[in-house]
């Protein structure tokens, strides 16, 4: 039997690396759609040990003809659209670019699929950011959306376009509404990795403090390595559908920071962080965390908590790694990397 062919956009990103590894293990031929021509190195794909096993193809979501040509040529069995300008804060500075990639990019791919490869099963990387100013204590597939950033608004367009192409053209399209998922492959701009990399640098004497923004915001944080299996499971069902993927547990940024420092065995004092410092022995504890206005957003998503019941029931998927384990995995990986001289 011929190997199944999967095309992954955003192959160099966190999820792209894990998904590539997951699909290769299952015997897929993996083609990485890559916006950069020429140099095909990537630290994530290298660390995963999959770099040489992926065929790279040049495809930028902003190039309509380029996308059409690639889909016409590859005609993949499964297409995972993970490419995005994925950082919420940047989307406030670059709303047009974000809309072009995260909204129109999805439309471009889906239109190419409709015309040139209608049997392709399509996965869209939607986000819990769609819920934004949340309308229910725990958010599921029926919770109304209230996006709070240009990123979330663009992703909302991508989500509804995916639903519409399923309903209008009978394509196999799924939208995975994934809550935050982290790992040692997470980009350094995101708060979790910023903290674990900072903790590792402090541990090795390369840095004194970490400057952060809103410590009170809460996220439903899961382990990215497990979340890519949910993407794949969505495309193995009889009928296409949309699913919330989450742990069902919500923690604050402050909790993440406390755990990360604790795991590294570093005592912390907080400055300007709203934590009472009265009685703190400053001679023993160094200020390790400061709060800077630079890292606040014009509109914040204060709290997210997913209800993954549908995924559990229909896909048989459940998050396995606890919050504490996740923080440990990330802190230990970064301490090891920094110790080995791998500096970001
Ligand atoms: P990531 O690490 O930021 O990776 C995004 C990838 O998209 C990068 O490889 C980037 O390419 C690529 N890309 C950006 N603009 C492109 C363009 N114009 N054409 C082609 N490729 C482009 O993101 P991630 O954490 O793996 O997330 C994967 C997807 O899930 C994203 O769509 C994200 O928005 C969504 N999502 C993520 C989370 C999460 O918690 N991680 C939660 C919900 C949804 P370069 O490598 O060349 O920069
Ligand atoms: P997001 O949920 O996709 O926006 O993921 P992030 O990791 O970028 O942010 C998660 C939460 O952490 C948001 O509510 C941010 O406001 C908050 N946060 C607090 N300090 C920081 C920081 O220094 N960097 C980032 N990226 N987020 C921060």
Residue 282 pLDDT greater than 70, yes or no: no
Mean pLDDT, residues 17-33: 98
Residue 212 pLDDT greater than 50, yes or no: yes
pTM for this one?
0.96
What sign has the CA pseudo-torsion 311, 110, 4, 240? positive
9 CA → ligand 1 middle, Å:
8
Task: Show the tokens assigned to 205.
Answer: 């004497």
In which band, very low, low, confident or very high, does the pLDDT at 278 lie, cut at 50, 70 and 90?
A: very low
CA distance 117 to 6: 13
| pLDDT number for residue 37 | 56
Using a 6 Å CB cutoff, which residues line ligand 1?
9-10, 12-16, 35-36, 60-62, 82-86, 101, 125, 127, 178, 180-181, 187
CA distance 198 to 253: 14
285 CA → ligand 1 middle, Å:
38
Superfamily of chain region 191-217+252-302+328-339: UDP-galactose 4-epimerase, domain 1 (3.90.25.10)
pLDDT tens string 39-62: 556 889 999 999 899 999 999 999
Using a 6 Å CB cutoff, which residues line ligand 2?
88-89, 180, 189-192, 194, 212-214, 217, 219, 253, 295, 297, 300-301
CA distance 311 to 308: 5
pLDDT tens string 227-277: 999 999 999 999 999 999 999 999 999 999 999 999 999 998 877 655 544
Task: Show the tokens assigned to 303.
Answer: 């709290």
Q: CB–CB of 224/326 below 8 Å?
A: no
* Residue ranges covered by each domain of the chain: 5-183+221-249+304-321, 191-217+252-302+328-339
Q: Which atom of ligand 2 is nearest to the CA of 193?
A: 7
Q: CB–CB of 188/197 below 8 Å?
A: yes
Task: Show the tokens assigned to 127.
Answer: 């986000």
In which band, very low, low, confident or very high, does the pLDDT at 75 lie, cut at 50, 70 and 90?
A: very high
| pLDDT number for residue 270 | 79
| pLDDT number for residue 273 | 59
Mean pLDDT, residues 167-175: 98
Mean pLDDT, residues 165-182: 98
11 CA → ligand 1 middle, Å:
8
Mean pLDDT, residues 88-106: 98
Residue 279 pLDDT greater than 80, yes or no: no
CA distance 166 to 13: 26
The domain made up of 5-183+221-249+304-321 has a fold known as Rossmann fold (3.40.50)
């Amino acid at each position: 039997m011929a190997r199944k062919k999967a095309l992954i956009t955003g192959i160099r990103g966190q999820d792209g690396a894990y998904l590539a590894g997951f699909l290769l293990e299952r015997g897929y031929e993996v083609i990485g759609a890559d916006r950069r021509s020429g140099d095909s190195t990537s630290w994530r794909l290298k660390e995963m040990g999959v770099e040489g096993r992926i065929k790279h193809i040049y495809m930028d979501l902003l190039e309509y003809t380029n996308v059409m040509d690639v889909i016409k040529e590859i005609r993949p069995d499964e297409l995972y659209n993970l490419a995005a300008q994925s950082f919420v804060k940047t989307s406030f500075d670059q709303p047009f670019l974000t809309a072009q990639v995260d909204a129109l990019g999805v439309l471009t791919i889906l239109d190419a699929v409709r015309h040139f490869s209608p049997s392709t099963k399509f996965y869209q990387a939607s986000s819990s950011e769609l819920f934004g100013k949340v309308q229910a204590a725990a958010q599921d597939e029926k919770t109304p959306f209230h996006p709070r950033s240009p990123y979330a608004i663009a992703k909302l367009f991508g989500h509804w376009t995916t639903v519409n192409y399923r309903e209008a053209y009978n394509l196999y399209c799924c939208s995975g509404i994934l809550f935050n998922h982290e790992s040692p492959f997470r980009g350094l701009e995101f708060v979790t990795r910023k903290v674990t990399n900072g903790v590792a640098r402090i541990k090795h004497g390369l840095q004194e403090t970490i400057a952060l923004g809103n410590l009170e915001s809460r996220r439903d944080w899961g382990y990215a390595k497990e979340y890519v299996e949910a993407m794949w499971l969505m495309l193995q069902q009889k009928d296409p559908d949309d699913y919330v993927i989450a742990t069902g547990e919500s923690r604050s940024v402050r909790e993440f920071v406390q755990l990360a420092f604790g795991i590294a065995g570093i005592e912390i004092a907080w400055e300007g962080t709203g934590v009472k410092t009265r009685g703190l022995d400053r001679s023993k504890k160094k200020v390790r965390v400061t709060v800077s206005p630079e890292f606040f957003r014009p509109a914040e998503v204060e709290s997210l908590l997913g209800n993954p019941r549908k995924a559990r029931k229909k896909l048989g998927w459940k998050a396995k790694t606890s919050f504490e384990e996740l923080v440990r995995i990330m802190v230990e990986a970064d301490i090891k990397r920094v110790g080995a001289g791998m500096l970001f």
